[in-house]
Amino acid sequence: MSNSIGNNLMQQSWLPSTVLEPQSRINSSCTGGNTLIPPQATSLARKSPLSTEFGGIKLTTQTKKLSMGKHRSHLVFPQAVLAADPPSKVVEKFKLDGNFDLEVDVKAPYSGSGFIVDIRVTPYRDNFILHWGALHSRKGQWVLPNRRPDKTQVYKNKALRSRFSKSGDSASLRIEIDDPKIQAIEFLLFDEARNKWFKDNGGNFCINLPLPHGEPGVSNVSLPEDLVQLHAYLRWERKGKQMYTPEQEKEEYEAARTELLEEIARGTSIQDLRARIINKTEVNESKDHAPPERISIPDDLAQKQAYIRWEKAGKPNYSPEQQMKEFEEARKELQLELEKGVLLHEIREKIEKGEIKTKVSKQPEKKKYSTMERVQRKKRNKEQLINKYASRSEQEIIISEPQPLSAIELFANAKKDEVDGDIVNQKMFDISNGKLLVLVTRSANMIKVYLGTDVKEPVVLHWALSKNHGEWKEPPLDVLPPGSVTLGTAVQTNFSHSFSDHMTDKVQTLDIEIEDDGYLGMPFVIVADGKWIKNNDSDFFVEFDVKPIQFQPASGDGEGTAKALLDKIAALEGEAQKSFMHRFNIAADLVEEATRWGELGFAGILVWMRFMATRQLIWNKNYNVKPREISKAQDRLTDLLQKTYISHPEYREVLRMIMSTVGRGGEGDVGQRIRDEILVIQRKNDCKGGMMEEWHQKLHNNTSPDDVVICQALIDYIKSDMDISVYWKTLNDNGITKERLLSYDRAIHSEPNFRSDQKEGLLRDLGNYMRTLKAVHSGADLESAVANCMGYRAEGEGFMVGVQINPVSGLPSGFPELLQFVLDHIEDKNVEALLEGLLEARQELKPLLFKPNDRLKDLIFLDLALDSSVRTAVERGYEELNNARPEKVMYFISLVLENLVLSVDDNEDLVYCSKGWDQALNMYKTGDTNAALFAKSVLDRTRLALASKAEWYHELLQPSAEYLGSQLGVDRWAVNIFTEEMIRAGSAASLSALLNRLDPILRKTAHLGSWQVISPVEAVGYVVVVDELLSIQHKSYERPTILVAKSVKGEEEIPDGTVAVLTPDMPDVLSHVSVRARNSKVCFATCFDSSILADLQAKEGSLLRLKPTSSDITYSEVDEDELTSSSNLTVDGPSPSITLVKKQFSGRYAISSEEFTNEMVGAKSRNIAHLKGKLPSWIRIPTSVALPFGVFEEVVSDDLNKEVAAKLEDLKKKLHREDFHVLGEIRRTVLDLSAPPKLINELKDKMKTSGMPWPGDEGQERWEQAWTAIKKVWASKWNERAYFSTRKVKLDHDYLCMAVLVQEIINADYAFVIHTTNPSSGDSSEIYAEVVKGLGETLVGAYPGRALSFISKKHDLSSPQVLGYPSKPIGLFIRRSIIFRSDSNGEDLEGYAGAGLYDSVPMDEEEEIVLDYTSDPLIIDNSFRQSILSDIARTGSEIEKLYGSPQDIEGVVKDGKIYVVQTRPQM
């Protein structure tokens, strides 16, 4: 090997960029022991894994390698000649942080003279101190020379401290060495004013002294050239891996030779040199002189050859074992060349020309997604996508039991009670193995600082005062606590021990009292047991002039939030505002507490991070932080979120949203490149001034997500041929204004101003820089997310670090090609194929998101990026849907819904909606005439699912946004729309837009029109717009009113004075409110056209006439004169009173159906008894018994219930005084009743005699369940809806009596309600019915969605016509059980429809099942549907014939058989 550094080994392009960071590294050419800041151990050669990569394939091999440290920014230019040639001179130059230059000039000695060491720091600073010592040997401790510069102080008998003096524009210091034993000096620089140490790559600066002239035995020594080459390499690595000219390479090589000769001259053997430089273990194996090692192939050459082999093999996806084998095969091929006599640099040239012979078989070629027009979607079972976790109501928020206060917490509480003045600052720091409290108070002109720590070891405060940021100013002598020692610009003061009765542990304390003289605060570090402790590598700093956030009163009491956690976040916001590093570290510290709070805890973290991401909180406040420190803090936070993602899968949806606000981060080199790469861009493209320099200063001070936007703005500006308006448009579109640019700590004042010849280079380099910025700040950026998962390498340049990201292991076969297809088509105008590719990638990725993986967060960020790309593509593809057929829009909907399913948890309803869209598309393809009608039902269900998800977001997030936002002073508008904006940022918003586009198309195709008219009554009234009918159901309007209500659930009352209710909501035609509307002759209709609804809302206050038909409503504005002509629409005052006859207790607690009479039970029980034996045998009637009228009153009067009776009387008196809040208390009190033994015995006897199961036979607990259900029926007399309904018609509530109908529950497949006259049209020739899956409570109760509805002509009952398919997401199912039905004397009265006001209660809880209609035979089997619906229609016809009048009938279907559970006259 020639005498250059490894044949240009130092050239950047020759070095393996993937060598792992060593555990130890060389900091200087000499080391010392037991210094104040000892140098790091010198382990020059290790056997350690070498990770290398070619083409995204990670290779791992065991090989001996040189330890390679991190890159440094200082430069060293030794001017070395052989030590045998006097006079010699050594000059070393270093580049220090803060743009300081350090130069050390050692004058070589002549015979009889001493050494002179001149040290200069430029530019001059007044407070530089040299902290130094000398070395007699490389392994020795520092010695303190007797000859020292003037005013040198001895520091703890371990080091010397000498001050610099001014020399021109430099600070200079001369040291004279006259001790011939001294071989080197070591030192550190200390800037007292800033309390800053300057080190040499983390260790001591070390300057070797030249050998004395004429030292024997040097010039004749034969020094192995391989040893010189290795030492030259280490010098190059130590000096920052600079790009050297050939002349500099030669100088470096000879300087390395000189250093080794000096070592030999001092008595070190070549064997020992080799052991220290190469591997100490090899020396122990043999005491003989180690022969020169055989030249081996450098790893970077083996890596390049392995890459060539991989390309020739077709870029296969190798296993780790195959990767290892390939790397070794490549090395063998090159070793063969070396053994032929080919030199390394010649091998390198042959590799670059592809002239190295290689034997490799091409692997079978995989499918190339990127060359195809679209990907081939795999067939999957969609139900495997269901993520189902316990609902919020079932989760228990586990808060750890309050722990006893620690000694330091007790001290803090006691001190706050004792101090005078206002507490202006309080901080608690984690230090060593304890905590440090700092409490600052201010009174008059005095500032008092109270410090306390529970650290066990002796603690010293090394402190100063500061009037400017970063300043260390010596405190006045009169403020120093006793025993303080001054050290120039700093003071050291010992803590003292404190004891208290309420503290079991010692607390060391220190109080400092300072006169207010404009001090900003106190910088300090802690010395505990001789160890220096800092605050995350920075000085501690406590502010005196704190201007706390102007907290507004918290919105509400924090109900529905993790209040204690939010309070802690608010208290820490002042610290978090310093920088992203602080904010992310604080968030990481809070993850454990958030986990204890559960879902609400992570909701609080999400709200806080979202406020940050939307710039509602300060990003940086007078604090300089390095990009790598920000990315390290991000990395710490995202690592903890990743860990929680695995351990608590029920919180994954919220955790994903948190991660999307934070960014990926990345400890180490990725963050550092932000700082370094901008300098390279400036240098390479000659753009060092103006805006680029201002941006550079901002990046060095505190990088943020704004930098991604600034970089994009520069790229857009350059692409537009330097159109400055394009630059500002990009900035403004992304929320960055000129004012924001000026608000940075390092403001950007200037606009970019580039030359045309800079365009190509800047576009290239800024494009690469964008990847670095996005890698840290943009977790959801697709390109950077793909790169992080697939692996990439960014070469270093000069002082700039290189970056090596290895591929994530375990990716599916063909996944890289799939991602490449996505990247190749990401900008396509026609987005359908792109959407398929994105979703196929997400489907392939999904299984990996549920498995532990040390790179899981990279997979999550990739999934977030794919999700975001789907939304972007959909928005871009809206134009593609213009004039599209319904099938095209439906397919887009199915794709967007699939994306939403993959993004959220508790997605079972959405999965079944997705299956529904597949079914609808299949019906279209097969020409099914009901395809549009079925698609409309799936659309309605999908809307309900989106609304349910939005409600969940609002319930989870909005209370935290309100509470925390008010405390942090967030703009009110940002708080108000917080949840809305969170929803808009997801796939749900895109899906909703597509549904709105499809809805009118389907309604037109299915001939549904814009309205569903539930109660077709003509009306004239004034328009009033309300949010919820529920909120105004008890109001009374003085003039005829048309209510336009955004929400109608189905259980509400209609307010007095209302002549019409119009809503976009979809209550069932047979819901309570629908029945009420028809009975009260109130127009009631659902409007499906948003433009019509908006027009009606815009007419608020206007007088309108509504003219409905069975399927449409027309409206027009009219004069008030028309009110008088509308006889049925004027308000004539209160409704007439209806008389109730109070029923008496008959003396019997239970009766059979044969004993049902008007005096004993209500119409519900009598009607069901009347049916028995009078209907065809295929219509079944369940067995019934009843608790007759008066039983409730008798039970209350029983001696068992005296206390309950007294309480009920008191509550009813309050109710008579219109204290309506007691209604709920009355219901709860009824549940306290005890059952008289006679009631139990009679009910048991009647049920068993009738053939019904007796609950008590299964145990006392089962009877208690039945008794509770009975009491709930009685208590429903005091339901708000029922109570106010009776008040409205002046019905005497005390006279209302409640019988209880007892029936065995049939575990139904379907439930139905029949109206034997069509209630919408009033057509008596049509039977109208609705059917739901499961129990009928979802049909008559306030359950969202529509039932299957159909009509049947009475002359053709075998040909039912489906009007609408079901959209109800929930079905109720129950075990074999008993139901207790309300049967009051207030139902079905003339002029008052009381049916449905009171509760029917099953003994057992119903189970809610999310319904999949694509597997329901009633939906997919035409013959089954026709059979069941025809039987239901015939049942209605038979019962109507029996009674001779229109009937309202309820029943169920079980195993194809019809059961009727009740009937009453249709109102």
Structure confidence by residue, pLDDT tens digits, 1410-1444: 999 999 999 999 999 999 999 999 999 999 999 99
pLDDT > 50? residue 219: no
Amino acid sitting at position 1342 = A
Arithmetic mean of pLDDT, 98-123: 78
Calculate mean pLDDT across residues 1305-1329.
92
Span 633-644, average pLDDT: 91
pLDDT-wise least confident of 686-700, 1064-1078, 1189-1203: 1064-1078
Q: Give the pLDDT mean for 1020-1025.
A: 94
pLDDT tops 70 at residue 42: no
3-state helix, strand, coil in the chain (%, to 5): 40, 20, 40
Element (H, E) at 1465: strand 1457-1465
State yes or no: pLDDT of 1026 exceeds 70: yes
Residues pairing with 842 in the sheet? none
Q: How confident is the model at residue 288 (pLDDT cuts 50, 70, 90)?
A: very low
Average pLDDT score, the chain: 80
Say which residues have a Cβ less than 8 Å from residue 680's Cβ, sequence separation at least 6: 765, 797, 798, 800
Active site residue 289: no
| Distance from C-alpha of 684 to C-alpha of 672, rounded to nearest angstrom | 19
Question: Crossing angle, helix 652-662 and helix 627-647, to 10 degrees?
Answer: 170
Q: Which amino acid is at 1288?
A: K
Give the torsion sign (CA, 545, 549, 551, 557).
negative
Per the model's pLDDT, the better-predicted residue between 223 and 476 turns out to be 476
What are the tens digits of pLDDT across the range 825-856? 888 888 899 999 999 999 999 999 988 888 89
Q: From CA 1286, how far away is CA 1292, in angstroms rounded?
A: 7
By the 10 Å C-beta count (0-12 exposed, 13-18 middle, 19+ buried), 135 is classed as buried
* Overall pTM > 0.75: no
pLDDT band at 668 (very low <50, low <70, confident <90, very high): very low
What is the model's pLDDT at position 293?
45
Each residue of 62-75: pLDDT tens digit? Answer: 333 333 333 333 32
Split at pLDDT 50, 70, 90, the class of 995 is confident
Dump strand ranges (E) for 418-495.
Answer: 422-431, 434-443, 446-453, 459-463, 485-487, 490-494
Three-state secondary structure of 615-670: CCCCCCCCCCCCHHHHHHHHHHHHHHHHHHHHHCHHHHHHHHHHHHHHCCCCCCHH
Answer for the pair 673, 794: CB distance below 8 angstroms, yes or no. Answer: yes
DSSP string across 797-851 = BTTBPPEEEPPPTTPPTTHHHHHHHHHHHTT-SS-HHHHHHHHHHHHHHGGGGGS
Is the model's pLDDT at 765 over the cut of 70? Answer: yes
Residue 1243 exposure: Cα atoms within 13 Å on the Cβ side: 26
DSSP string, 76-92: -------TTSSS-EEEE
* Alpha carbons 535 and 524: distance in angstroms, whole number: 10
Tell me the percentage of the chain whose pLDDT exceeds 90. Answer: 36
What kind and span of H or E run contains 915? helix 908-925
pLDDT at 1191: 95
Which residue did the predictor score with more confidence, 356 or 1114?
1114
Residue tagged 């969605």 (tokens)? 1345
Q: What is the mean pLDDT of residues 784-805?
A: 66
Q: Could you read off the pLDDT of 226-245 as tens digits, one per residue?
A: 777 777 777 776 665 666 67
pLDDT tens per residue, range 146-194: 889 988 888 878 889 999 888 888 889 999 888 878 888 999 998 887 7
* Contact of 331 with 59, CB cutoff 8 Å: no
- Per-residue pLDDT, averaged over 567-578, amounts to 88
Q: Is residue 628 pLDDT above 80, yes or no?
A: no
Query: What is the 8-class DSSP label of residue 1278?
Result: G
Choose, from 71, 1034, 1072, 1315, the residue flagged as catalytic. Answer: 1072
Hey, what are 1107's tokens?
Answer: 């003219």
Say whether pLDDT at 45 is over 80. Answer: no
Q: What is the mean pLDDT of residues 1326-1346?
A: 89
413-436 pLDDT per residue, tens = 888 778 877 888 888 887 877 889
Compute the average pLDDT of residues 960-964. Answer: 93
Among 210-224, 302-316, 516-530, 1448-1462, which range has the highest average pLDDT?
A: 1448-1462
Q: At residue 19, does pLDDT exceed 70?
A: no
Give 1079-1088 pLDDT, tens digit per residue.
788 999 999 8
Measured distance CA(1428)–CA(1447) in Å, rounded: 19
User: How many whole angstroms from its chain centre is CA 334?
Assistant: 49
Q: Quick one: pLDDT at residue 321?
A: 67
For residue 339, count other CB atoms closer than 10 A to its CB.
10
Q: Is the pLDDT of residue 1179 over 60?
A: yes
CA distance 1149 to 1302: 13
- Tell me the β-bridge partners of 435: 430
Longest dimension (CA), the chain: 136
